[in-house]
Homo-oligomer: A and B are copies of this chain.
Amino acid sequence: MAEKLTGEERARELQPLLEAGWRLVEGRDAIAKNYSFANFVEAFGWMTRVALWAEKLNHHPEWSNVYRTVEVTLSTHDAGGLTMLDVRLARKMDELAGL
């Protein structure tokens, strides 16, 4: 089972994500990001690629989609907060969005 990030890991792993547009969620140990695409096909196409990876990692995002935008929140429920699974999925999401 994934374990919560240590203080050292947080500094090392989260900082690059925060610089890439991720933000810490208030009131819970989670990160969030808003993605914007050219249109619905691009937005849902990206979600589909992410979904296949999420299933493969057995780690799933909380996300909402309105037309060409997708808002994502990541946290590891079993661990009660951020783990390396969230870091990996966040990086993969950015990679799949071409960021």
Contact = CB atoms under 8 A, between A and B. Distances in A.
Interface of A: 40-41, 44, 47-48, 51, 54-55, 60, 62-67
Contacts of A64: 62-65
Determine how many copies of this chain the complex contains: 2
A67 to B, nearest CB: 5
A62 B48 CA distance: 16
A55 B68 CA distance: 12
Nearest to A64: B64
B44 A51 contact: yes
Contacts of A63: 64-65
Given A44-B51, A47-B47, 16 more contacts: A40-B51, A40-B54, A40-B55, A40-B60, A44-B48, A44-B55, A48-B48, A60-B66, A60-B67, A62-B64, A62-B65, A62-B66, A63-B64, A63-B65, A64-B64, A64-B65
